[in-house]
């Protein structure tokens, strides 16, 4: 059984005091995980709140059981000190809300590579989870059933995951992606030409966002002029990747509306590709067959939505976050600018140090053990990938940003069968974007002392990145 170390030390904000029973086997009575009546808890932005370090209404006795407090805004603004505290004091624990939290690299990796760890939330025993863990499905509700059927392969297990991923994986092989490098360089040069005329820009708006959008639109065959139509839908889906119990009713509703809008958009676009096929990925999906079985309409729609949204949201945060890391480490910025040999390792270090994807979740389909702790079938584990990426047991001097770091076995793209399909594309885009940026803007500098982060917990990224491009 794993027990927390340093339990007597003062916890960081957002990581609550650890009682000895917080790290325990899940084979105990799940109802014992909560000692507070949820109905008595305060409301949070229109949705039910749960015990929180930042809630003055939360009883002190409840605070002592929570340990990982996902409602604390520090988890999106500056989570890394909190991760350090968790790895030290409660590396694997079941918090007051009923789910497991896993903070070390080795343990996250062990769960990710285990076939008993499912990406399908339907395998979670929801009675052990907080109210609102998963938006309830209404019987005989065709819209709710359609939303369930439209889960992308990211949230499915084999054999459906294997079949659907296999139909698009050939478009993202390193060889195919490398053939896109020249075209990506042209887009980068065009965006930098425009930005350099303005001297000072929001780098997210002027560079980090439009680049991956244009690349994925071109790959899919989505008209670039439609990007304003789907920008807000995409943001709503990215925000909606956070666990439902962290979201307000308005955010959940916006996510559902975004799925419906995207579905209608791609329904029309795919119908056009059936009449007028081209060389793009949408045309290949329309014509794709797997063992003689054509993709169903819902499978095609969910796959298109996933490719478009995942094809740019995380890359935006990688490019912007990587730029900020370089600016805050001038010696590494200079080496990245002058040494072509660290272009690839530098981007890998940004994936580790910045960690655009902070966490992921897995449901256990069987009883199993990780890190000396027993998990039961139906348990849900929240894997803090960004914490694993800063684990001193895996990385020497993990809080040091080193563009030449070797080895670098980060979890930035996950691991196992759900390893990020678009990893080669994101790597290539970041390499081209950031090497070009620092070369063409040698006087690049921040124009603010602090940057503001979005409230997203899963996909961590900045609202904006104001910079001066000329000295």
Distance CA 118, CA 135 (A): 18
At the top level of CATH, which class does the domain 142-468 belong to?
mainly alpha
Going from the C-alpha of 227 to that of each of 8, 110, 355, 428, the distances in angstroms are 52, 39, 26, 22
pLDDT at 87 (0 to 100): 96
User: What average pLDDT does range 296-304 have in this prediction?
Assistant: 87
Model confidence, pTM: 0.84
Predicted confidence (pLDDT) per residue in 437-463, tens digit? 999 999 999 999 999 999 998 999 999
Contact 103, 394 (CB under 8 A): no
Confidence of residue 45 (pLDDT cuts 50, 70, 90): very low
Distance CA 471, CA 84 (A): 37
Going from the C-alpha of 262 to that of each of 16, 154, 233, 272, the distances in angstroms are 40, 17, 7, 15
Residues 6+ apart with CB under 8 A from 376: 26, 27, 364, 367
SS3 405: coil
Nearest partner of 465 among 195, 202, 200, judged by Cα: 202
Exposed/middle/buried for 211, CB within 10 Å: 0-12, 13-18, 19+? buried
Contact 103, 83 (CB under 8 A): yes
User: In angstroms, what is the C-alpha Rg of the chain?
Assistant: 22
Predicted confidence (pLDDT) per residue in 341-365, tens digit? 999 999 999 999 999 999 999 999 9
Torsion of CA 368, 373, 378, 379, to 10 degrees: -150
Confidence of residue 177 (pLDDT cuts 50, 70, 90): very high
């Amino acid at each position: 059984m794993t027990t927390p170390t340093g339990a007597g030390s003062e916890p960081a904000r957002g990581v609550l005091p650890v009682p000895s029973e917080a790290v325990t086997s899940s084979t105990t009575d799940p109802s014992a995980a909560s000692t507070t009546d949820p109905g008595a808890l305060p409301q949070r932005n229109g949705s039910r709140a749960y015990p929180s370090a930042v809630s003055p209404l939360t009883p002190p006795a409840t605070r002592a059981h929570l340990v990982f407090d996902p409602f604390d805004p520090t988890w999106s603004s500056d989570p890394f000190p909190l991760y350090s505290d968790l790895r030290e004091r409660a590396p694997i624990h079941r918090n007051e809300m009923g789910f497991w939290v896993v903070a070390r690299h080795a343990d996250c990796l062990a769960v990710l590579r285990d076939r008993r760890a499912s990406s399908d939330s339907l395998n979670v025993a929801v009675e052990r989870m907080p109210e609102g863990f998963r938006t309830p499905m209404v019987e005989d509700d065709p819209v709710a059933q359609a939303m369930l059927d439209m889960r992308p392969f990211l949230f499915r297990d084999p054999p459906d995951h294997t079949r659907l991923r296999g139909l698009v994986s050939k478009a993202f092989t390193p060889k195919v992606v490398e053939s896109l490098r020249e075209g990506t360089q042209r887009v980068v040069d065009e965006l930098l030409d425009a930005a350099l005329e303005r001297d000072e820009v929001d780098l997210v708006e002027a560079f980090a966002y439009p680049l991956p959008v244009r690349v994925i639109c071109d790959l899919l065959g989505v008209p670039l002029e439609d990007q304003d139509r789907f920008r807000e839908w995409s943001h709503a889906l990215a925000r909606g990747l956070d666990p439902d119990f962290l979201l307000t009713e308005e955010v959940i509703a916006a996510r559902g509306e975004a799925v419906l809008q995207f579905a209608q958009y791609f329904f029309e676009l795919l119908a056009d590709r059936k009449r007028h096929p081209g060389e793009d990925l949408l045309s290949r999906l329309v014509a794709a067959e797997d063992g003689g079985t054509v993709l169903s309409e819902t499978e095609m729609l969910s796959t298109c939505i996933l490719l478009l949204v995942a094809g740019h949201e995380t890359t935006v945060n990688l490019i912007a976050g990587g730029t900020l890391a370089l600016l805050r480490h001038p010696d590494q910025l200079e080496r990245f600018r002058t040494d072509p040999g660290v272009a690839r390792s530098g981007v890998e270090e940004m994936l580790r140090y910045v960690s655009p994807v902070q966490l992921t979740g897995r449901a256990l389909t069987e009883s199993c053990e990780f890190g000396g702790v027993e998990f039961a079938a139906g348990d849900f584990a929240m894997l803090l990938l960004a914490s694993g990426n800063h684990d001193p047991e895996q990385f020497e001097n993990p809080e040091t940003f080193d563009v030449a770091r070797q080895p670098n076995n980060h979890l930035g793209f996950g691991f196992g069968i759900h390893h990020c399909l678009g990893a080669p594309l994101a790597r290539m885009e970041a390499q081209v974007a950031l090497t070009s940026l620092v070369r063409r803007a040698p006087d690049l500098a921040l124009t603010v002392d602090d940057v503001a982060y979005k409230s997203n917990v899963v996909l961590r990224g900045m609202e904006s990145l104001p910079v001066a491009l000329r000295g």
